[in-house]
Every structure is written in structure tokens, then in C-alpha cells.
Amino acid sequence: MLRLALQKSGRLAEQSVELIRDCGIRFSRADGKLRAVADNFPVELLYLRDDDIPGYVADGVAHAGIVGENVVAESGRAVEVAERLGFGRCRLSVAVPRGGDFTDLASLEGAHVATSYPRVLSRFLEAHGIGATIHEISGSVEIAPGIGLADAICDLVSTGSTLISNGLRELATVMQSEAVLIANGSLDAEASALLDALRFRVGSVMRARGYRYILLNVPDRALEEVKAMLPGMKSPTVMPLAEPGWSSVHSVIRDDEFWVILDRLKAVGAEGMLVVPIEKMVQ
């Protein structure tokens, strides 16, 4: 049985559970329970603190886990990143008071920086030749300059609204982060095969999230143009309609290109367009 560690609470917890359920794996978790066994896939889920997950995986207590890339980097534990999952995106940034004297990284020389990520920050500052004092604190890092604890902070940033509300601005990005599926590098044959099976499902779900399925009616005179716009996974499906001179085209389209291509399809005479989400995409 594969042992998979998930965050029991926090930023990535709900999205991690949603991903596993979208992979067709059924399980239930009673309130407060720290483990659950799936009904239809040989996996045991362990609910842990996020900063414990890399250690559990590195030590072989869990075969794999889902956690933020920033947590993996800070832990320093020897684990493999098996899949990048595309959600929970954020950045670890150095921030300073707005209107202060800090203009660039070099101006941090001799400064006091508060953070919950001392290892990552230390490596970053050392790589840039900056000597600063690091104060390790947990939680409410953004208030440190306001209460005189530090001159600057290094913390996770998503929208930046928390920094703005505390009178701070970003000075430099230390690292980009997202949710990752990590694994122990010394799995036995059984656990490795189960992890591969899970990765196949995860990959199918993640690919589908970036695409939409599109159905449209196209005048035959515009078929070649439309096929060039909608390559699909290999090529679009084209079927003649009962009305002469028209065909039905089925294809997939990248979500981030959807509106641009939609306008181009309308311009060449496409009609009756239906766009639906894709649950899985297997390649």
C-alpha cells in the first residue's frame, strides 16, 4: 500500500484532497483522524503538518507527499519532486517598508530580516554576497518592521495585499513556489509501481485542467482555417452535418488561448459553439 502524506490544514490542504478525489480515489476522513484508507485504490493518507511532510517522506514513513515547494526547500531534506501540480502558486519575497531607505538588494547589507524561512533566505543572501542578520519567527512576519523587530521581512506572497496593508513593498523574489508531489528516492518495487499509477492519474487530471473541449459548426469553405486554429490532441474531429456545406468540428483548446481563438473562429463563420470542461485527459 502507498502511504501518501497530505497537509491536515492550511493553504494547500483542500486543493490536495480535491486533486486526489479528482483522480477517482474514494476515501473519507472522520473529524480529527490523522489517517484514512481509500476504498478503491491501495493508498493510505496521512494528515500531517506541512513542515513535517518532507521529513516523513525522506525517512520513509510516507512514500510520497503533497506540499509546497517552499516547505521542501526550507526543510533541506533529500526528497524527489515527482510532479509539479500547478496550484498553490506563490513566491517567497523580501519586503521592506514603503518609503524607506532600501532601494535594492545591496542596501540590505547589515540589515535585520525577519522570516519563517531562515535556510532559504540565508542561501539567497549568501549567493548575492549580502551580509544581513536573520531573525527566525513563525507567523505574523509582516508586522516585524512595524514593531521594530526587524528592518525587512522575507515571507510568502500571493496577491501582495497583506504587504500593502502593512505598509510594505516587495524588494526581491527569493523563489517561486507551487504545490509539488514529492517522493522518497528509495522506494521498493511495489511502492514505486503504485506511485507511478498515482502519477498517471494526477497527470491526466492536471492536463485536463488546462484545456476545454469545444464543439462547433463550421462552413466547409472555412474548414482548413479552423483546423489550423484547432489542432486538438492530434487533429480535430470533422463530421459532415445534414445541411450541405457545413461540418461539425470537435477539438480541445488551451484554456489560456480560449477567448482569442473564439474570436478568430467567429470571424471565419463558425456557429453554435459549445465549450465544456474536460474531466481527464489521457495521453
Express each pLDDT in 115-151 by its tens digit.
999 999 999 999 999 999 999 998 889 999 988 899 9
Above pLDDT 90, what percent of the chain?
73
Distance CA 134, CA 219 (A): 66
Distance CA 230, CA 218 (A): 12
Kindly indicate the confidence band of residue 196, based on its pLDDT and cuts at 50, 70 and 90: very high
Distance CA 198, CA 207 (A): 14
pLDDT at res. 163: 92
Strands 43-48 and 168-177: unpaired
pLDDT at res. 254: 86
Looking from the CA of 113 toward its CB, the CA atoms found within 13 Å total 31
pLDDT at res. 121: 97
Distance CA 75, CA 79 (A): 10
Residue 209 has pLDDT above 90, yes or no: no
Q: What is the mean pLDDT of the chain?
A: 92
- In tens, the pLDDT along 82-107 reads 999 999 999 999 999 998 889 999 99
Identify the CA nearest to 152 among candidates 139, 161, 143, 165: 143
Do the beta carbons of residue 11 and residue 179 sit within 8 Å? Answer: no
Residue 283 has pLDDT above 80, yes or no: no
What number is the average pLDDT over the span 51-79? 96
Above pLDDT 70, what percent of the chain?
99
Residue 79 has pLDDT above 90, yes or no: yes
pLDDT at res. 138: 86
What number is the average pLDDT over the span 29-49? 89
Distance CA 24, CA 26 (A): 6
Distance CA 56, CA 182 (A): 11
Kindly indicate the confidence band of residue 264, based on its pLDDT and cuts at 50, 70 and 90: very high
C-alpha torsion sign, points 43, 44, 47, 49: negative
pLDDT at res. 28: 85
pLDDT at res. 140: 85
> What are residue 65's DSSP bridge partners?
5, 182
Output the pTM of the full model.
0.85
pLDDT at res. 210: 84
Do the beta carbons of residue 85 and residue 93 sit within 8 Å? Answer: no
Do the beta carbons of residue 116 and residue 136 sit within 8 Å? Answer: yes
Helix (H, G, I), strand (E, B) or coil at 7: strand
Kindly indicate the confidence band of residue 1, based on its pLDDT and cuts at 50, 70 and 90: very high
Distance CA 182, CA 156 (A): 20
Residue 190 has pLDDT above 90, yes or no: yes
Looking from the CA of 263 toward its CB, the CA atoms found within 13 Å total 3
Looking from the CA of 165 toward its CB, the CA atoms found within 13 Å total 7
Q: Which domains are assigned to the chain?
A: 2-86+178-208 (3.40.190.10), 90-177 (3.40.190.10), 211-277 (3.30.70.120)
pLDDT at res. 250: 93
Residue 31 has pLDDT above 90, yes or no: no
